[in-house]
Chains A and B, each alone.
Chain A
Amino acid sequence: MNPLELIPLALSRLAASKMRAVLTMLGVIIGVGSIVALVSVAQGATSGITNLIEGLGTNLISVSPGANNNGFVRGAAGSADTLTLADAEAITGVDGVDQVAPQVSTIAVVVAGDRNTTTTVSGITPAFQPVRAYEIWRGAFITEPSYRAGLRVAVIGSATAEALKLDESAVGADILVGGVPFRVIGVLQPKGILDDQVFIPLSTMRDHFVAGDAVQSISVSAADPATIPLTKVAISNLLRARHGIADGAEADFTVIDQAQLLSAFGTITGFLSLLLAGIASISLVVGGIGIMNIMLVSVRERTREIGIRKAIGARNRDILLQFLVEALVLSLAGGVIGIAFGVAASAGVGAIAGWGLNLSAQTILLAVAFSLVVGVVFGVWPARQAAKLDPIEALRYQ
């Protein structure tokens, strides 16, 4: 007998009790649906984060001050005042370094007309725009002359502009930053990350908000992505020498690049995907038990049918296959419906989160394979029970 002949038989059998078939499939639908949805949401989140990190500027190396180590209490990374403007200037001379952008930030209230918002105000140099890959939407970025002169000019992020209800006419508007009057000279394109910021010249920052020589971070763009590891070592060696740190002692700064950041996020999201898929698999197992349960009931209900089939010549193997195919059709149909639900759910989440639909062929194949495995694993035992029935007793069964 050709096992494919059993598929229409199984389909008509399931069609005869549709409600039962649907309820039985529900477990697999939920299981497969949540695997597809969760895995693709995790993949979407990963690619969203990757895009954001890449949007921070390609070839970016970040130098941050070390932690404030005050006796027994270790402060947050970047809390110490160990990096200076002079360090930034020194890094400019390192091989493989293209541009260097030191940054000093503070939190301040920004007022425009009758609107106000509290946001990060960063003092930067003109090199900041190319290094961090910001693009101007309206107006211009801070120029070398205005940096030198310490002018009270500001470039505002897209989110800040929105919060202050500043539109196309924002350029030229007068705002108050921490009570000090500034003129808006530019508005930035949105990047999806770090859009709520106000940038002013670093010199102006020193004059009005943060005195001293310390900087909170130094962004460095590498001339060649291939030499980033070497450039990092060179920067590190330079700063250790400047700070007088002995060989083997812990540095008072950290140097990281995009690849490190990406791989750190990759580790986190990979673990997250695995965790979510693991949780979803549990519901798939529960769905499989549902199939086994119904198949066992079905074998009992159809004992007489099994007896008749055996009496007219069905071999044990034919009966086994018949019930196995039924379980497989159930789990596979559940899997397909589950994939449809999962795709719909991940499309919905992707639309809301703005990273679109992230669906790989592997996810779909994995889901189909899982539902097949569930069908076989949980269908084989009831099918064996059916195949083992004694034809005489099965025929007598009422």
Chain B
Amino acid sequence: MSLPLPAVEPAAPPIEGAAPVIEMRGIGKVYRSGRLEVDALREVDLEVHSGDFLAIVGPSGSGKSTLMNLLGCLDRPTSGTYRLTGENVAELNDDALARLRNRTIGFVFQSFNLLPRTTALENVAMPLLYAGVSRGERNARAREALERLGLGDRMEHQPSELSGGQQQRVAIARALVTKPAILLADEPTGNLDSQSGADVLALLHELNASGTTVVLITHDGDVAVAAKRSVHVKDGRVAA
């Protein structure tokens, strides 16, 4: 897959003394089913600083989905410490995790995960509902996010009336509407044709250039070149 992207810049060195947005130390995740124990992740160390664009690359079964779930606060690690914007995720209850997912993380999924029979505007405004933002401000901010992604004329369209690329842009607008500390994209191009995929990667690049921290999870090494730096996951371990 060839991408019409600007040359990848070298990763910006972390600002001295600034705490990383994501800091994983010795993270392990064990799944138990009956007497069987599976080590999905072992001794993972990971740091993402503000403004970074990290690609996490690995084949299926490598543990990258588990890593993505942990990074996204959908799950808690079995061992190690994970600090997201300074908060120790392992110590948080369900409500606190929901608040982190709402305010600190913006999710972009492979299958878009937009609500069916719901307009683009309502989809984008939804995270703000759970943030307790008033209806008027929700719609204003959602409109702004959609316009920023060039979807100003698609606000009242339902997902079924949009192309794959447009749906993914709506999903990115939804991820950005809460102004999260990081954008977590899980195979964002997996369900798209190569042109739409390239557009989405260009968009992520552009967002990163304007200051958004992006973590991209993919099995595709070609996709990973869009990032400033990448790490590889294999057999539950992370290597640079």
* Residues of A bordering B, CB below 8 Å: 1-2, 5, 16, 304-305, 307-318, 391-392, 395
Contacts and interface: CB of A to CB of B under 8 A. Distances in A.
Contacts of A305: 115
A317 to B, nearest CB: 7
A315 B130 CA distance: 8
Interface string B86-104: 0000000011001101110
15 contacts: A1-B129, A311-B74, A311-B107, A312-B107, A312-B127, A313-B98, A313-B99, A313-B130, A313-B131, A314-B98, A314-B102, A314-B130, A316-B95, A391-B74, A392-B74
Contacts of A5: 129, 135
Contacts of A308: 113-115
A312 B130 CA distance: 8
B130 A1 contact: yes
Contacts of B132: 1-2
B25 interface: no
A1 B102 CA distance: 12
B75 interface: yes
Contacts of A307: 113
Interface of A: prevailing SS: helix
A226 to B, nearest CB: 65
A311 B113 contact: yes
Nearest to A318: B130
Contacts of A318: 98, 130
A315 B115 contact: no
A222 to B, nearest CB: 70
B103 A313 contact: yes
A310 B102 CA distance: 9
A315 B113 contact: no
Contacts, number: 60
Contacts of B129: 1, 5
B127 A313 contact: yes
Nearest to A316: B94
A316 B95 CA distance: 7
B170 to A, nearest CB: 13
B174 interface: yes
A395 B74 CA distance: 10
A315 B131 contact: no
A311 B113 CA distance: 10
A1 B129 CA distance: 6
A304 B118 CA distance: 14
Given A313-B131, A395-B113, 17 more contacts: A2-B132, A5-B135, A16-B117, A304-B113, A305-B115, A308-B113, A309-B130, A313-B101, A314-B98, A314-B102, A314-B130, A315-B94, A315-B95, A315-B98, A317-B95, A391-B74, A392-B75
A254 B129 CA distance: 75
Contacts of B117: 16
B72 interface: yes
Contact of B126 (A16, A309, A315): A309
B210 to A, nearest CB: 22
B69 interface: yes
B104 to A, nearest CB: 10
A279 B114 CA distance: 46
Contacts of B95: 315-317
Nearest to A304: B113
B101 A311 contact: yes
A319 to B, nearest CB: 10
A314 B100 CA distance: 10
A304 B114 CA distance: 10
A395 B65 CA distance: 12
A312 B101 contact: yes
A5 B178 CA distance: 19
Nearest to B114: A308
Interface string B193-236: 00000000000000000000000000000000000000000000
